[in-house]
Chains A and B, each alone.
Chain A
Amino acid sequence: MLRADALRTIYPELEQSIVVTIMGAVAAELYTLGHRHNFFYLEHAMGLASSMGLGIALSIPEHKVIVIDGDGSLLMNLGTLSTMARYKPGNLLHIVFDNESLLSVGGFPTATSTGTDLAGIARASGVPQVMEAHTPESLKAAVTEALASNTLTTIVSKVEAVGPKTFHMDLPLLENRFQFKRALEALRRQKMQ
């Protein structure tokens, strides 16, 4: 499966949610599909997108938060699975696109290419719902099920190690940051009314 196709298929769900992505190919692809103020692209600090998602999910329990992670990033912060599993926010969905590669820096193979099983690690860490979805249709079904279940879920999707032609995004980091904070404020206000 191409990650770009996967993203296109689940875009309607992403559109409705607070989304935090890792840097690189996935950020550029989501941005190209259609940027929204409720999308945040963490352009550095590899591994921490899921920790940010956890912080948001605990702060705004009434809104769905979707983290789009990658194998390289998750491998840098495996402890995040045990921390998420410990608090189990039901509004948090953690999607991991596993291309078995550090694609953005030249395609070096990660440990998932030699057998490390991220879904297995998520399960063993105590994440209450772990799914694997390797086609756009099955991913869409998994995302729908996860969001409806109100259960902390990790979905691992194997994707091809193919990225966009350019990683350029016409969105300075700080613009994204302040935009995103305002979008979250607006969501909180809506909920209070």
Chain B
Amino acid sequence: MPVSVTNSKLIYDALKACDVKIMSALPETWLVHLIRMADEDPDMTLVRLAKEEEGVGISAGAHLAGVNSALLMQNHGFLAAINPIVSLAFLYKIPLLMLISLRGHFGEKDPWQTQGGLVTEPILRAMNIPIWHLTNPTDIHRRLKDAQTLAHASLHPVAVLLSRELMWED
């Protein structure tokens, strides 16, 4: 499976540097290594979800309990979690660090991913959720740390979009 282990490791290490202790996730191809790394790390609590919206609740609980968390999801999972983002995270000013794999964008071969690829960024923008693209291995640490810093300062969700060029080695 040509998902980049090297870049997944860089992302994982950057999350550790952000003192992330709880990661909620729903598997998808690009996220397999990240989920495995979380599973194998005794200092990380990995919560495997049935549906992404649960992750918003788990991160809200973790935040109120003083623990840093991150949500790992595909863009279609983000679409499934919109209501909780609005009616829990926005309503209660909960910072969320969302790592979203941007499927269905340039280079996508799976037809079923393409509709989500078209709407993900416009919806994030319509929701006033700041977006950062991760495309370059050299700035992963900086961008994840900055994303978390803004989330905590603004008490608002932020989205870090994982790109094909970073995650997929063709």
Interface residues of A (CB under 8 A from B): 20, 40, 42-45, 47-60, 77, 79-80, 82-83, 86-87, 173-174, 177, 180-181, 184-185, 188
Contact = CB atoms under 8 A, between A and B. Distances in A.
A184 B63 CA distance: 10
Given A86-B48, A188-B66, A47 B91 contact: no
A58 B49 CA distance: 14
A58 B88 contact: no
B58 A45 contact: no
A79 B64 contact: no
Contacts of A52: 57-58, 60-61, 64, 88
Interface residues of B, number: 31
B166 interface: no
A48 B57 CA distance: 5
A86 B59 CA distance: 17
Nearest to B57: A51
A20 B61 CA distance: 10
Question: Which applies to chain A's interface (DSSP): helix, strand, loop or mixed?
Answer: helix
B56 interface: yes
Contact of A44 (B49, B62, B88): B88
Contact of A173 (B45, B53, B92): B92
A132 B9 CA distance: 46
A184 B57 CA distance: 16
Nearest to B68: A59
A45 B54 CA distance: 10
A20 to B, nearest CB: 8
A10 B105 CA distance: 53
B87 A87 contact: no
Contacts of A77: 51, 53-54
Q: Most B CB atoms within 10 A — which of A51, A77, A82, A86?
A: A51
Contact of A55 (B50, B53, B62, B91): B62
A47 B63 CA distance: 18
Q: Most A CB atoms within 10 A — which of B51, B56, B61?
A: B61
A181 B88 contact: no
B61 A83 contact: no
A185 B60 contact: no
Given A44-B87, A83-B47, A56 B53 contact: no
Contacts of B93: 174, 177
A50 B65 contact: no
A83 B50 CA distance: 7
A80 B54 contact: yes
30 contacts: A42-B88, A44-B87, A45-B84, A45-B88, A45-B91, A48-B54, A48-B56, A48-B84, A49-B57, A51-B54, A51-B57, A51-B58, A51-B61, A52-B60, A52-B61, A54-B54, A54-B61, A56-B61, A58-B62, A59-B22, A77-B54, A79-B51, A80-B54, A83-B48, A86-B48, A173-B92, A177-B92, A177-B93, A180-B64, A181-B63
